[in-house]
Homo-oligomer: A and B are copies of this chain.
Amino acid sequence: MIERSTPPAASTPRGTAPALPATADLPTTELVQAGERVLEWIAAYLDHPERYPVLAQIEPGFLKQALPASAPETGEPLDRILDDFERWIVPATTHWNHPGFMGYFGISGSIPGILGELLTAALNVNAMLWRTSPAGTELEEVALGWLRELIGLPPAFAGAIQDTASTSTLTALAAAREAVPGLDVRVKGLAGRPDIGPLVLYASAEAHSSVDRAAIVLGIGTEGVSKVATDDAFRMNPDDLAQRIAADRARGRTPFAVVATVGTTSTTSIDPVPAIADISAREQLWLHVDAAYGGAAAILPEMRHVLAGCDRADSLVVNPHKWIFIPIDCSALYCRRPDVLTGATSLVPEYLRTAEAGQARNLMDWGHPLGRRFRALKLWMVLRAYGRQGIMARIREHLRLAQVAAGLVDEATDLERLAPVEFSTICFRVRPADLASRAEEEPVRNYLNTLNQAALEAVNRTGEVFLSHTGLGGRTAIRLSIGNLRTEERHVRRAIALAREMGARVDQAERPAALR
């Protein structure tokens, strides 16, 4: 074990320092004093987040009306600011830490990650260049190497941390665009070029909206995103992919990338990456895998299969801030063709040239933002504090809880499951038993959508749990997603019970006479 070095403060008792002039920072005694109050508050908060309603029970405008319209003229004590934090900010907060938070992707940061962010804020480095933060640069390579190995990607994948999967996918698709032979988009752009046709990328109809948004930003346009059909389990149909590519080529369009998803947002379906990789290779298209949510599960040997075929991807994104207990933001973008990636957007003006170029990576080359936070620190701290076994145990528990939820849904005569459970997210709906045989009739279908929307709102109004929704083939589905370190079986059972209870209540009050 490494010896703890003596804290540098020991030789200079801070209490005896003279008052600092107003041009310096606050005295560090205030950091320690206010910081201890904050730590105590956080500890109490994390011990009992359920004392707050999970979904903030306020109306839009609450905070804007409560706070002054202008900054104060003179500085205020930290204690007063923290008082206001507790009084105004906390009630206006939707508590992602609440064990009942099961909307969108339930996520949670963790104690080692929180401490990592604290240290990152204190060091306050901009890791744009190796020189400006050797630790920020190299620890990112180290920690992403650890994660790469944990999820079973081969060493050929180089990684870089982005803020979100949106940016990771944008960066990957910028590289894909740059990889098209003869295009040279970087220099020539896309507009006013009679030599090229419209560019097309392929993603399933269930792919995340960030794919469309990346296409918009990159100048491809939403018409350049070909939405491949899915099967009845919401997975991309490779035959449809192949046909679309052939048809586009015949029309003079230029296919350049395929985005496959491991864990789609609505149902967490898994696209058949091996078959998609075959097609991508044959057609020489860049294959990007969006495993932002699902990739974390591959840490478990029994779930390794979810990334089957991904070793053949050109790029892959997995978000440690989703299901590896890192505070937001931390998205890991892996790329098997790092030269293309860094060549796609990097640009080095004179004032950013350094002696280390060539010997060390500069993070500014790994995506469009020049400035970079030291995000690797929290990732490194969480991976160490939990270890591989610890991460596995937590993800495994979430998978188990999802099976409990699925079992409860499947047993209930008034609930209907709407998608397979691949990970820890369940899509289901309230469907009163007496309507089961008529569920596909148009008026019943419409009524069930209204019923589920109302039931969901009623569930969320309780403040006990928070669930979100999606649309699946015209049917409104309630989504329950487990990813929080504080969620226990009783919370999951309560969520399902509340859905049934509110569903029955709304059904009794709202069902049209014609459907009774």
A113 at the interface (CB under 8 A from B): yes
Nearest-CB distance from A153 to chain B (Å)? 13
Nearest-CB distance from A486 to chain B (Å)? 7
Cα separation A88 to B139 with both chains bound (whole Å): 10
A404 at the interface (CB under 8 A from B): no
A224 at the interface (CB under 8 A from B): yes
Given contacts A9-B47, A71-B388, 8 further A-B contacts (CB under 8 A): A25-B111, A26-B385, A72-B383, A93-B125, A165-B370, A192-B198, A214-B368, A219-B220
Cβ A390 vs Cβ B80 within 8 A: no
Cβ A145 vs Cβ B327 within 8 A: no
A433 at the interface (CB under 8 A from B): no
Interface membership of chain A positions 32-53, coded 1 if the CB is closer than 8 angstroms to chain B and 0 otherwise: 1011101111111111100100
Q: Which residue of B lies closest to A327 (CB)?
A: B121
**Segment touching B, from A101-109, A283-291, A500-508:** A101-109
Cβ A41 vs Cβ B7 within 8 A: yes
For A233, what are the chain B residues with a Cβ–Cβ distance below 8 Å?
Answer: none
Cβ A132 vs Cβ B110 within 8 A: no
Cβ A43 vs Cβ B28 within 8 A: yes
A240 at the interface (CB under 8 A from B): no
Cβ B118 vs Cβ A397 within 8 A: no
Cβ B46 vs Cβ A28 within 8 A: yes
Cα separation A344 to B369 with both chains bound (whole Å): 19
- A56, A112, A123, A132 interface centre (most CB from chain B within 10 Å): A123
A437 at the interface (CB under 8 A from B): no
For A2, what are the chain B residues with a Cβ–Cβ distance below 8 Å?
Answer: 80, 83-84, 87
Cα separation A221 to B1 with both chains bound (whole Å): 53
Cα separation A213 to B355 with both chains bound (whole Å): 22
**Segment touching B, from A58-66, A273-281, A301-309, A416-424:** A58-66
- A75, A142, A254 interface centre (most CB from chain B within 10 Å): A75
With A198-B191, A368-B170: A385-B470 Cβ-Cβ less than 8 Å: no
Q: Can you identify 22 A-B contacts, CB atoms within 8 angstroms?
A: A2-B84, A5-B86, A8-B51, A31-B46, A34-B111, A35-B35, A56-B135, A75-B385, A81-B385, A89-B135, A89-B377, A117-B120, A126-B328, A163-B371, A163-B373, A165-B370, A189-B224, A190-B191, A192-B196, A192-B197, A192-B254, A217-B345
Query: Given B44, B89, B114, which contacts A139 in the complex, CB threshold below 8 Å?
Result: B89
Cβ B189 vs Cβ A23 within 8 A: no
Query: Given B10, B17, B72, B191, which contacts A220 in the complex, CB threshold below 8 Å?
Result: B191
Q: Which residue of B lies closest to A47 (CB)?
A: B28
A167 at the interface (CB under 8 A from B): yes
Cα separation A86 to B7 with both chains bound (whole Å): 9
Cβ B142 vs Cβ A187 within 8 A: no
Cα separation A32 to B44 with both chains bound (whole Å): 10
With A35-B115, A163-B163, A328-B124: A485-B80 Cβ-Cβ less than 8 Å: no
Query: Given B72, B73, B131, B222, which contacts A186 in the complex, CB threshold below 8 Å?
Result: B222
For A147, what are the chain B residues with a Cβ–Cβ distance below 8 Å?
Answer: 71
Query: Given B112, B121, B194, which contacts A78 in the complex, CB threshold below 8 Å?
Result: B112
Nearest-CB distance from A490 to chain B (Å)? 13
Interface membership of chain A positions 1-19, coded 1 if the CB is closer than 8 angstroms to chain B and 0 otherwise: 1111101111010100100
Q: Which of A168-197 contact B (CB under 8 A)?
A: 170, 174, 177, 184-194, 196-197
A468 at the interface (CB under 8 A from B): yes
A436 at the interface (CB under 8 A from B): no
Query: Given B78, B134, B189, which contacts A190 in the complex, CB threshold below 8 Å?
Result: B189
Cα separation A70 to B329 with both chains bound (whole Å): 23
- 6 interchain residue pairs of minimum CB distance: A219-B219, A9-B44, A189-B221, A117-B121, A192-B198, A60-B360
Interface membership of chain A positions 469-506, coded 1 if the CB is closer than 8 angstroms to chain B and 0 otherwise: 11100000001000001100000000000000000000
For A355, what are the chain B residues with a Cβ–Cβ distance below 8 Å?
Answer: 457
**Segment touching B, from A310-318, A346-354, A405-413, A439-447:** A346-354
A513 at the interface (CB under 8 A from B): no
Nearest-CB distance from A448 to chain B (Å)? 15
For A84, what are the chain B residues with a Cβ–Cβ distance below 8 Å?
Answer: 2
Q: Which of A195-239 contact B (CB under 8 A)?
A: 196-199, 208-210, 212-224
A381 at the interface (CB under 8 A from B): yes
Cβ A188 vs Cβ B221 within 8 A: yes
Cβ A215 vs Cβ B191 within 8 A: no
A428 at the interface (CB under 8 A from B): no
Nearest-CB distance from A268 to chain B (Å)? 12
Query: Given B32, B72, B120, B142, which contacts A39 in the complex, CB threshold below 8 Å?
Result: B32
A130 at the interface (CB under 8 A from B): yes
For A468, what are the chain B residues with a Cβ–Cβ distance below 8 Å?
Answer: 351
